Amino acid sequence: MTYPVYAAFPGRILIVGFGSIGQGVLPLILRHIGITPDRITIVTAEQAGQQEAVDLGVSFICEPLVRDNYRRVIEPLLGAGDFLLNLSVDVSSVALIQLCWERGALYLDTCMEPWAGGYTDTSVPAGERTNYAMRAEALRLREGNEHAPTAVMTHGANPGMVSHLVKQAMLNLAADAQMDIVEPVTRQQWAQLACDLGVQVIHVAERDTQVPSQPKRTNEFVNTWSVDGFVSEGAQPAELGWGSHEKGLPADGRRHPQADAAAIYLMQPGAATRVRTWAPLAGCFHGFLITHAEAISITDYYTLREGDAVVYRPTCHYAYHPSDSAVVSVHEFAGRNWRVQDSKRILMDEIVSGIDELGVLLGRKDAPAYWYGSQLSIDEARRLAPYNNATSLQVTSSVLSGMIWAIENPRCGLVEPDEMDFRRNMEICRPYLGEVVGAYTDWTPLTDRQSLFAEDIDTSDAWQFRNVRV
């Protein structure tokens, strides 16, 4: 089969980290970016994936990157016009972005990472272990670097692709309502459209139903993507963008010291926090409120101000129900007082059925909610690309699209997904997402809440976070 080459790339590509996402994206890079395998090098902490790299003709270096050696390892492999794709855990994103700018290279990652322990060191105050704090540190790099080599921050499926889904979802809502609009261009225009549509909350609502042939064993963490990545973000404080419609801070909620902070955090881990949400095939379900960068960047991007006053801002957070094997793994992880299991397994070839249903749910006051996103089955994922499951392919296709956008827009400095061309990214991702659907629902967090137990709910406004939280 002939695949489209979206961008020719004359430089070298350095992939840092080669877990399930690195292994899954490498074939897509070779399909769709004009580069030969001899100009790609992998630097990773583990031997996993080495045979795949060798089979594809790609150089493979197994050496963990730490503060003391990352420059020595990377500098000979990275120069002007090259691209560093960061898919690692426990390697500082800020340090790698700064090094890329020194070397004149492009950059993309799927999440903001500190050096090892930066998110889980409980001697550090909770507010300093949040994605809000990490994002703020990265955004401070922008000053004076507005035309530096493009560094795309947090562009996987989520964070990343979901920001593009939000924009398309809002255009769909406007078209269905027969609103006479010109497609927004600026963030102010997008925020005004969200306000006009009455969007109060944006859930990144994901339900993974992939099932393995071999059940989870005791003292084993099983997941459909990086175990280390999930454990790291699941152990961070639960975190969400905080909307202007919210009436009161949760009892365990904390604000950041910045006067105009777009997010709050809770004094408990995301893997111990559940929220109510909805997706078309799954119906209503409980998901983990895992901290993610998009919860902050989306809320920030869609903020409307009059002078210094915030007049509109949506609440945004992740609502993640991973595979049932991963749910049991999280339960065991929590029971061990957040000490990760001794054995780890990423599900790939042993998956026998299931889908990953990943999209955005836009909750509106006095109007049906709207979900828009990808429904990708394991069978379809295997047909579309090697070395992927349904979860990883949603991520790797978005990594690919972000890389191509950076190659096409090479001097943009630090960029978040919300600031990118959503149509170009979706054009590249779309063939790998299975069914992409939009669906309205009358479901709200108050639906069917007539239970045996009295609940502290706000019936005047269904989309208050106090109603969403379990």
Q: What is the pLDDT of residues 107-118, one digit of tens each?
A: 999 999 999 888
Q: Is the pLDDT of residue 307 over 70?
A: yes
423 φ, ψ (degrees, to nearest 5): -65, -45
| pLDDT of amino acid 259 | 81
DSSP H or E segment with residue 469: none
Q: How far is CA 198 from the centre of its chain?
A: 24
Query: Mean of the pLDDT values across residues 51-70?
Result: 96
Q: Is the pLDDT of residue 450 over 80?
A: no
Measured distance CA(330)–CA(269) in Å, rounded: 11
Query: Minimal CA–CA distance to 14: which of 113, 114, 99?
Result: 99
Q: Is the pLDDT of residue 303 over 70?
A: yes
**Is this model's pTM higher than 0.85 or not?**
yes
Cis bond before residue 159 (omega within 30° of 0): yes
Task: Label residue 272 exposed, middle or buried (CB < 10 Å: 0-12, 13-18, 19+).
Answer: middle
CB 119 within 8 A of CB 129: yes
Q: Is the pLDDT of residue 453 over 80?
A: no
| DSSP annotation of 347 | -
| pLDDT of amino acid 367 | 97
Pairing relation of β-strands 211-212 and 351-353? Answer: antiparallel
- Kindly list the structural domains of the chain, giving each domain's residue range(s) and its CATH number in brackets, ordered by start: 7-152 (3.40.50.720), 161-391+431-468 (3.30.360.30)
| pLDDT of amino acid 9 | 98
Residue with the bigger pLDDT between 435 and 454: it is 435
| pLDDT of amino acid 452 | 66
* Buried residues in 129-167 as b, exposed as e (16+ CB within 10 A): bbbbbbbeebeebeeeeeebbbbbbbbbbbbbbbbbbbb
Query: 123 pLDDT band (50/70/90 cuts)?
Result: confident
Q: Is the pLDDT of residue 451 over 80?
A: no
